[in-house]
Structure 1
Amino acid sequence: MVRGWVLPSLIVVAGVAAAAGLHADRNDGGAVVVLLAFVAFAAVNSSLIFPKPAGALEAQRRSKEDGRPVVYWRPGCHYCRRLRFRLGRDARRAHWVDIWRDPAGAAVVRSFAEGNETVPTVVLTDGRGYVNPDPEWVRERL
């Protein structure tokens, strides 16, 4: 859980430092803009933009009930962000599992990625898993 917030925290700290430098130069407007930009960038690199994650076992149970895929992801993953943004509102229809919060989810990903924790990994109800699939392909299965 903690490591998912390391990158966003470092981004915010850098933003505060940059804003403090601008404030020291009496550029308060610039300081506010820079700080807001860094906070927005930190939010995009955090788990805040993703639907609330479920545990792997709960996501698998829900997937069997409603036929929707399970998406395994981790904070800070560029490809996971791309998938999330390209799916738009449809992202809420999938079951999302943060592999940094759920060791069972990480084990599922390793089983499909030759022992690696490569994400995003999408698992369909029939048990087939796909590593870093095209977002449009995922949308068709929602």
Structure 2
Amino acid sequence: MLFKTAAVVALAFAANAAYAQSDAQVYESAIAEAARICPGHSKERTTPGIRAVPVGALRVLAQRSYTMCPDRRLDAATPAVWYGAAGVFAWNPDNKSAVKLIAGKVDAMTRKEEFPAETLVWKADGSEARGVVVPMFEPRPRPAGAY
């Protein structure tokens, strides 16, 4: 019982950590998380997408342990994806309109706090794409012993 209580308290502190950070810290934490998880991360590709998202939305993502990853494998027709099983929003950083598109989708989904388990794909015009194939999300490999 003591272990269960300690675990609940630890989770509560972790969830509130995102709300205790300054706005600048929230952005930097989101970029750091992308560096840890995203195989396509580089500061030049990741920063514009994350900075386009309102800080309140990033706080919700942090609270839920979701992240944002640039993915150059996404094509121009479908430049934005929500990988529900992985908890990752991805966008094509080479497509300038994809940054605005993913920021809008992240903001809308965090406001509703609706994060479906399935993968959602959006066309460049913002409408949902159905029946399309996108690359599977695979997190950055972790070093041996970093479990």
**TM-score normalised according to structure 1 size:** 0.31
Structure holding more helix per residue:
1
Higher radius of gyration, 1 or 2: 1
